[in-house]
A and B are shown apart, each in its own frame.
Chain A
């Protein structure tokens, strides 16, 4: 490691960690888990900084977050059978209602469906880029997106107008 590596890593990490946290939060639905995912990803980037600094550290970090989240989810699944519960009750502040609805809709998805939705519609990745992050084919990204949006629409009809239009465009 060169002496300036710590400075360049710190600069990069300080700049990008919040964006990574937001992705991680949408993927996991849990703030503490999201912070752990980001911490884990940043640590792995730091360990490989000499190789990554001139390439695509953020893409690598995002891939670590997505795959680790799925891996952790699978480990948790053997301990807890997650039940997102019935449809949420809304009626408060509009922004809070939307937040509850989107949480509920995302909570109904499998980790891979959720990852595809977040990568495609939050991180704005192409189908090919999302496929590379997840290690699956472009065709699977397309079918997974279709299934995910349908499930979100069914679980949260209030979002159907938004999600229905999105699906027509995929």
Chain B
């Protein structure tokens, strides 16, 4: 007998299946979906423009909106920009994010995350089956379960990790939660500590002399310890502690000179799509020079072979945190989620290569960093 027999069994199981023709309905729904997406941009932009104009009238320095300021969020024609993008930098289409206030007013999008993650009020649970997100809060990690309930895990048992330069830090990082949400990994000195979310067990994996500082997940069950910072090759271990050979994750490469900008957060890879956040230092075009901070943080996302740059707009009425906007995950093949770290942090979904933005979650309470499981 061969694997053909299993194939035959599976084929026999579904041989008698029939269905109504769905093609016409699918075409109609697909067209409606395209139209709704288009309208959503306009509708959202209109709402945002109204809110921000009101904000300027109340908060602006002289009480008057700038006569030259384009309405935020409204598509702006830019000569020479491909695909209707806002600008071009080094041949890469540039799209402008919303600013901090505009992000607060976005319409919601459905996601595995709750609409509000309240790190102060919970709700807390004694157990969760897996986590969709992990937030570092003081000496605890707050794990957010699929139903919105949170599990608070103390990490005081873990030792600080010492960098080669002698500095030490608490062993939390943006890649600590596994893509499946089943495990959380923490670097230690000569080992990594793995926490199993469903059972609440801790396990230590001896990694010998391997560098643990940038431990990350190669896949759902395999840990990768890059030798030279994030990205690059290194030894791997299965989550049960078995050595798993050598592996490598791609390094972030936006395809242009990043000057003094440094990559931060995790490098998101999904099939042929990728995304990475970068800090300040590259003079990408901004929406309104003088109003928006120059050389801002930016995200580079590649979807379907096309690279897009999202320049993070930053008006001066309020602050964005340093390294404000690490990428968090993909809601769909072309919908990227990023953190917007500010006084009132939010998670924002951007349909790559468009002006469509949605709000995934509001985050209440202070945290030092977050890590996310696969969001779709």
Q: Which residues of A contact B (CB under 8 A)?
A: 1, 6, 9-10, 13-14, 17-18, 21-22, 25-26, 31, 35, 38-39, 42-49, 51, 63, 67, 71, 74-75, 77-78, 95, 98-99, 102-103, 112, 118, 121-122, 124, 132, 135-137, 139-140, 143, 159, 161-163, 165-166, 169
Give Cα A137 to B19, complex, Å: 34
The docked-state distance in angstroms from the alpha carbon of A45 to that of B25 is 12
A157 to chain B, nearest CB (A): 15
- Closest chain A CB from B358 CB (angstroms): 17
Contacts from B to A (Cβ < 8 Å)? 1-3, 5-7, 9-14, 17-19, 21-27, 29-31, 33-34, 37, 112, 129-130, 145-147, 218-222, 244, 270-271, 304, 374, 376
Least Cβ–Cβ distance between A14 and chain B, in angstroms: 5
29 example contacts (A-B, Cβ-Cβ < 8 A) are as follows A9-B30, A13-B22, A13-B23, A13-B26, A17-B22, A17-B23, A21-B19, A22-B14, A35-B19, A39-B26, A42-B23, A46-B26, A46-B27, A47-B37, A63-B271, A67-B376, A71-B376, A74-B112, A75-B146, A99-B13, A121-B3, A122-B10, A122-B11, A135-B271, A135-B374, A139-B222, A161-B1, A162-B1, A166-B3
Beyond A39-B26, A71-B112, A75-B146, whether A21 also contacts B17 by CB under 8 A is yes
Q: Considering the complex, give the chain B residue whose CB is closest to the CB of A19.
A: B14
> CB distance B31 to A26 under 8 Å?
no
Q: How far is the CB of B251 from chain A (nearest CB, A)?
A: 17
The distance from the CB of B167 to the nearest CB of chain A, in whole angstroms, is: 33
Q: Determine the residue in chain B with the shortest Cβ distance to A161.
A: B1
In whole angstroms, how far apart are the Cα atoms of A13 and B129 in the complex?
37
Contacts A14-B21, A165-B3 known; 16 new A-B pairs at CB < 8 A: A25-B14, A43-B33, A47-B33, A47-B34, A49-B30, A67-B376, A77-B129, A78-B146, A112-B220, A118-B10, A121-B10, A135-B270, A135-B271, A139-B219, A166-B5, A166-B6
Counted as pairs of residues, one from A and one from B, with CB atoms less than 8 Å apart, the total is 135
- The 9 closest A-B CB pairs, nearest first, are A46-B30, A42-B26, A13-B23, A22-B14, A47-B30, A122-B10, A43-B29, A166-B3, A78-B147
Q: How far is the CA of A43 from the CA of B147 in the complex (A)?
A: 28
Shortest CB distance A94–B (Å): 10
Shortest Cβ gap from A40 to chain B (Å): 9
Asked if A17 contacts B9 (CB within 8 A), the reply is: no
Say whether, besides A121-B3, A137-B219, A139-B219, A159 and B9 are in contact (CB < 8 Å).
yes
Q: Taking CB as reference atom, which chain B residue is nearest A50?
A: B34
